[in-house]
């Protein structure tokens, strides 16, 4: 059975983006990028909402981004290889390979996918993740805590759920970032 993992950067005060949806504060350095690649490599299916899809689809054409490092090019290959399911009512179509569009988030369809898939799955973006969390679908939470306080913005986790977690792993990085990996106990 595949695990559904929510893996995102977060400010120390629990935000994924600032008030104006800015995420420049969470751009990873080379060490963090290599770590992200290692964590994403076993993910074969990515669930994402419209905003996250529009943010991430640039990785389908990394040649348009000048000066990418080998680690960033590796991430592009990992992203391109993954199947992507985009949940959106407003998108007419999706324009990237290995991508399908779904109009509604269906928890039972995700449970069925988890039962069928031989590889890991991730959910990207706080709105879609909140739906998956509320439905009890997220098996693991992997946060890269950035030593930054934003004071407000888009929360990384929904505020209306209570879930007991078990710490599976932690790691400190030279730039002050901290990786935390938890398993859901529900």
The Cα 6–Cα 143 span in angstroms is 8
pLDDT of residue 142: 98
**This prediction's pTM:** 0.95
Share of the chain above pLDDT 90, in %: 94
DSSP state of 108: H
Q: What is the pLDDT of residues 30-82, one digit of tens each?
A: 999 999 999 999 999 999 999 999 999 999 999 999 999 999 999 999 999 99
Average pLDDT, the chain: 96
- Name the CATH superfamily, with its identifier, for domain 4-184: Dihydrofolate Reductase, subunit A (3.40.430.10)
Q: Residue 186: pLDDT band by 50, 70, 90 thresholds?
A: confident
In the chain, domain spans = 4-184
The Cα 16–Cα 11 span in angstroms is 6
- What DSSP element (H or E) covers 50? helix 50-56
């Amino acid at each position: 059975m595949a695990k559904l993992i929510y893996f995102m950067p977060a400010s120390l005060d629990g935000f994924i983006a600032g008030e104006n949806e800015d995420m420049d504060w969470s751009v990873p350095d080379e060490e963090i990028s290599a770590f992200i690649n290692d964590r994403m490599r076993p993910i074969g299916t990515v669930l994402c909402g419209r905003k996250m899809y529009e943010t991430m689809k640039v990785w389908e054409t990394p040649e348009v981004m000048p000066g990418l490092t080998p680690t960033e090019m590796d991430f592009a290959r990992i992203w391109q290889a993954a199947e992507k399911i985009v949940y959106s009512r407003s998108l007419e179509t999706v324009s990237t390979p290995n991508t399908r569009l779904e109009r509604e988030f269906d928890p039972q369809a995700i449970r069925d996918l988890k039962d069928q898939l031989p590889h890991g799955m991730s959910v990207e973006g706080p709105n879609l993740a909140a739906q998956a969390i509320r439905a009890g679908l997220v098996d693991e939470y992997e946060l890269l805590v950035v030593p930054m306080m934003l004071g407000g913005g888009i929360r990384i986790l929904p505020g209306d759920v209570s879930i007991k977690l078990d710490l599976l792993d932690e790691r400190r990085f030279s730039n002050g970032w901290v990786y935390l990996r938890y398993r859901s106990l529900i």
